[in-house]
Amino acid sequence: MSPPNNALTRIAAVQMVSGSDLQTNLQTAEHWVREAHRQGASLVLLPEYFCLMGKKDTDKCAIAEPEGTGPQSPIQARMAALAGALGIWLAAGTIPLQSSTPPRIRNSLLVYNPKGESVACYDKLHLFSFQNGQEQYDESRTIAAGSRPVACDTVAGRTGLSVCYDIRFPELYRSMASEQPLDLILVPAAFTATTGQAHWEVLLRTRAIENQCWLLASAQGGLHDNGRRTWGQSMVIDPWGRVVSQVKEGEGVAIADLNPAQTAEVRLNLPALTHRRLGA
């Protein structure tokens, strides 16, 4: 479902500062999705943990849903209905889904088409762990790792799905592009201020440059009511690695037009994807 030659696709990354109240977060997410749609976006990405940044790591486990849009899955049902009502592609990243190893949950990015149908579900593969004395994180305590890469066709073309810490693993994106180059990479995230300040932008720009594709990164960006501070800097990056739209801190929308002709020009002028030798 690649976009027609030279047809522009407006894409948007929502930045939030989610808190510990589920309904407030969902209302905020819907507000910004509607704002992106008002500005002409046909594909909108929400950040990791958009629905809940709990007081405790285990809080997200308490709201985990079975995959689907039935009565037991109100978050998914609401996102599907929103995509259908606006007639947009909505990448809702991330929603806590029930796993086969409870009480751990899946940290899942779901993609809905303009009819409100779920067309892809990616469970975060790489689980973040970090400690520097003052900060300690270990996602494996509450999250079950995914088992496979996922790419899907959207209005923006071939779209690779990833979540936050995944951005540190370039082989993930190579595997998604093994049969067809990616047109767009999605990265919903909740990078800590510490790691974000050091690595966020350089990692995102590198993934866009080496895959010669657009990248849409939607982040949490500010001080949350659980005391955690996230880095923000949601952005749209073009295939040459240039940041073309950005929200630095707080809530907002980074929005830009994905231009397939620009992707083609970069790949023609610097055909790095055809020069690969190892793992080709």
* Alpha-carbon dihedral angle through residues 171, 187, 176, 206, given to the nearest 10 degrees: -50
Q: Is the pLDDT of residue 1 over 50?
A: no
Q: Write down the catalytic residue from 51, 164, 249, 251.
A: 164
> pLDDT digit string (tens) for 27-60?
999 999 999 999 999 999 999 999 999 999 999 9
> pLDDT tens digits for 132-185?
877 788 999 999 999 999 999 999 999 999 999 999 999 999 999 998 999 999
Phi, then psi, of 46 in degrees rounded to 5: -95, 155
280: Cβ contacts below 8 Å, ≥ 6 apart? none
**Residue 244 corresponds to which tokens in the numbers above?**
């073309």
The pLDDT value recorded for residue 254 is 98
Cα 50 from chain centroid?
Answer: 10
| Chain mean pLDDT for the chain | 95
Residue 51 among the catalytic residues: no
Contacts of 219 (CB under 8 A, 6+ apart): 13, 15, 47, 48, 188, 189, 190, 191, 196, 200, 230, 231, 232, 233, 234
Question: What region, left, alpha or beta, does residue 94 occupy, with left being phi > 0 and alpha being psi -120 to 50 degrees?
Answer: beta
- Catalytic annotation present for 124: yes
**CA-closest candidate to residue 161, choices 189, 202, 140, 198:** 189
**Do you know the residue count of the chain?**
280
Percentage of residues of the chain with pLDDT beyond 70:
98
User: Which residue out of 51, 124, 139, 213 is catalytically annotated?
Assistant: 124
Q: Which of 48, 65, 139, 251 is catalytic?
A: 48
Three-class DSSP category at 156: coil
Residue 164 appears among annotated catalytic residues: yes
Structure tokens, 38: 């008002």
175-213 pLDDT tens trace: 999 989 999 999 999 999 999 999 999 999 999 999 999
Which residue in the block uniquely carries the two structure tokens 């936050």?
164
Percentages helix, strand, coil for the chain (3-state, rounded to 5) are 30, 30, 40
Q: Which residue has the tokens 């209905």?
A: 81
In 3D space, the residue among 188, 270, 275 whose CA is nearest the CA of residue 230 turns out to be 188
Q: How far apart are CA 76 and CA 83, in angstroms?
A: 11
The domain over range 9-274 is classified in CATH as 1.20.950.20: no
pLDDT the model gives residue 5? 60
Determine if the pTM surpasses 0.75.
Answer: yes
